[in-house]
Amino acid sequence: MTKPVGALKGADNNYHFTLWSPHADNVQVIIKGEEAARTMERDAYGYWHSNDGNGVTAGSKYKFLLNGEHKLPDPASMSQPDGVHEWSEVVDHDFDWTDENWQPAPLSDLIIYELHVGTFTEKGTFEAIIDRIDHLQALGINAIEIMPIAQFPGSRNWGYDGVYPFAAQNSYGGVSKLKMLVDKFHQAGIAVILDVVYNHMGPEGNYLSLFGPYFTEKYNTPWGAALNFDDSYSDHIRNFFLQNALMWLKEFHIDGLRLDAVHAIMDNGPVHLLKELSLKVDGLEKETGKPYILIAESDMNDVKVISDYSKGGYGLEAQWTDDFHHAVHTLITGELDGYYSDYGQIAHLAKSFKQGFIYDGIYSNFRNKLVGTDPSNNASHQFVVCIQNHDQVGNRMTGDRLPSIVSYEKLKLAAGTMLISPFVPMLFMGEEYGEDQPFQYFVHHGDPALVKAVQEGRSKEFDSFKWQGEVPDPQSENTFRNSKLNWDFKSQQEKDTLFKFYKYLIHLRKEGAFDLFKSQEIITEVMEDKKLLKIAATDSSRHILVLLNFSDSIQNVTISGEHRVWHKLFASSDQQWQGPAELPESVTSGNKLPLSPNSISVYY
C-alpha cells in the first residue's frame, strides 16, 4: 500500500491533510488561529482526510484532535518550529534547485565523511556546514554522511532520539536550510547521505501509540517495544517509513540513506522492510534517472542485506563493516575488553582486508555463538570501513578519540590501512587532522525523570570495559560544547601534517594507486610474533606491496617475490609526514627494509 501522509499540496495548490489513526472515532484538524476545527473523513483503511485547504498556506500551524480529547502534532509533520510537543507547520517543498544535472560518484569511488550537524561547527547549523565545503574539497571528500536530523527534543542530541521522521531539526535550520546545504554540496561535487532511524523512536514527544498500533509487543528491542513492521496493521506503519525514505530522496535531493541498526528492525513478514525499501528506491531511480544508495548498519555480518534479490537478498548497496574497525583498533590500542575480545591478532586484519568480514560463520567467544555469513562473493565496494565513527568514539566512556589514546605514528598507520583498503572508506569529522576534542553522548530532554534515567543508564553501559574516568553528564550543555570540533588545526604542525597525509592518500586512492586490491587476488603474509603484515596484489603489468608494522620496534623485513626493483609510493615514517626515519626510494627483491615502529609503507 502506498499512501502519502501529512500536510501535502495538491494539484489545486491547496494543502490536504492525511492522518492514519484506525481506532479513532473522530478526527479533526485544528489550524492555529481558527476558532473551529475542520472535519476529517475516514476511509476503509483508517486514514483520515481533510480536503478543505482554504486559507492554509506554507507556515500555517496545525494539530490533530483525536476523539475530541487528544490535541497532538502530526506524526508526519515536516516542521516542528517550536519543538516536539508543539504545533506542526505546513511546509512548501518548492525550492530553486540548481542541481538538475547532478550525478554522484559511483559508490566504489566514494570517500565518505561522517559529521554531526550540531558539533561540526561552532554555530551547529546546516548553513554553517556550507562554510566548510572548501575544507572538504581540499581533503578530497566526495560524500558527506549526516547523522540523523529528524526532529528530536531540545536543541542538542546525537539524533537517534528523533520522534518526527519527516521534520528536519528546527535548531539546525529546518527544511529550507537543509535543501540549501544539499544544493551547495552538489554544486561542489559532493554527495549527501542522510542517516535515518527506522528501528525505534525516541521517548520524548513520541505520541505514535495514541494514533494507532505503531508498536508491537511481539519483540523486545534495547528501546522497548519494536516498531510494528509485521503484525496487525503493519502495512500502514511500513507505508509511513517508506514514504519518509522516499521524501528525503525526492524532495530533498539526498543521494543515499544510511539505515541505523537494521538488525533491530524486526520483520518476519514475506517481504522484509529493507527489501521493500530497496524496491521502492529502484522505482524512484527509474522515475528520476538518478542513482541512490542504501547503506545498512548491521552487526549480523549477514550478506543477505546486500545481496541481489535473485540470491534472496534485500538488495541494499552496502553495509558498515565493524570487523575492520575492531581489527585495526585492537592492534593499535591493545584494548581487548568487551566485544574487542574477539579481535587483536594480525591474522584478523589480514582476513578483514581481503573480504571485510572476519566473522563469516565462525564462532565468537564474546557472543558465544556462530556469527556471520561468507562475503567472498560480494564486491568490495559493498563494505564501508572506518577507523573512527560516532559509535566507536561516542560510545566510549568519555568519548575519547584515537589521538587521545594512541601515538601520532599509530594514527598514520591506522589511516593508511583504511585508505589503501579495497573498501569504501569513511572518515569521522575531525579525524583528518587528529581532532582530540572528545565526541561525547549528549541529550537535551525536558522530562526530569527521563533525564535521570538516561544519566543512570549511561553509567551502567560500560561494565564490560576497563575504561577509567567519569561518565560525562549527557544532559549538561558542557558535554555538548566539549564535543565541538576545534578548527584551529593548521597552526599545529602535527595536525596540519596529518591533514596533508590524509589528503595525499585520498589523492592516490582517487588516482587508482590501490585499485589492484579491488580487482585482483589479495595475497597476505602474517607474522604474528612480530606484529607484521604484508599485503600484495599483482596483474600483468602492475604490482603493489604494503608493509604494516604494528609493533613498537624496528622490524627488518625481507622484500620477497620475483627479482625486481620496487619503488616507494609512500611511507608514514618519512620525514615529510613528521616520521622518525626515511625509507629508501627503491629497493630490490631479496633486500631488507628497516620498518619503523607503527608504520605503513607502500611500494609498487
Query: Which residues does the annotation place in the binding site for substrate?
Result: 258-263, 322-326, 390-395
Please state, in angstroms and rounded to a whole number, the distance separating the CA atoms of residues 8 and 247: 12
Q: Which of 108, 15, 97 is nearest to 62 (CA)?
A: 15
Q: Kindly list the distances between the CA atom of residue 454 and the CA atoms of 10, 293, 460, 572, in Å, as whole numbers in the listed order.
A: 42, 34, 10, 42
* Cell triple for 294: 542504501
Q: In the annotation, is 260 catalytic?
A: yes
Measured distance CA(246)–CA(284) in Å, rounded? 8
Q: Locate all alpha helices (DSSP H) within 262-419, ordered by sequence.
A: 273-288, 322-333, 346-355, 390-394, 408-419
Contact between 3 and 243 (Cβ < 8 Å): yes
95 within 8 A of 179, measured Cβ to Cβ: yes
Query: C-alpha angle with apex 487: 483 to 493, nearest 5 degrees?
Result: 120
Distance of CA 432 to the CA centre of its chain: 17
How far is 544 from 532, CA to CA, in rounded Å? 17
Q: How do strand 191-196 and strand 143-146 relate by DSSP bridges?
A: parallel
β-bridge mates for residue 594, sequence order: 556
Nearest to 331 by CA among 306, 305, 358: 358
**CB distance 1 to 22 below 8 Å:** no
Binding site membership: which residues?
Answer: 258-263, 322-326, 390-395
DSSP label at residue 402: G
Cα(207)–Cα(332) distance, rounded to whole angstroms? 45
Active-site residue, selected from the candidate residues 74, 230, 231, 260: 260
Instruction: Give all strands (DSSP E) within 169-223, no chain letters.
Output: 191-196, 215-221
Report how far residue 474's alpha carbon sits from residue 131's, in angstroms, rounded to the nearest whole number.
28
DSSP 322: H
Tell me how far apart the alpha carbons of residues 313 and 304 are, in angstroms, rounded to a whole number. Answer: 4
Euclidean distance between CA atoms 443 and 421, whole angstroms: 35
Catalytic residue among 297, 335, 473, 574: 297
336, three cell numbers: 581487548
Closest CA to 312 of 321, 320, 303: 303
What the block records as the C-alpha cell of 399 is 568519548
447 noted as active-site residue = no
**Pairing assessment for the beta strands 424-428 and 383-385 based on DSSP bridges:** parallel
Beta strand 318-320 pairing with 592-595: unpaired
- Supply the residues annotated as catalytic: 260, 297
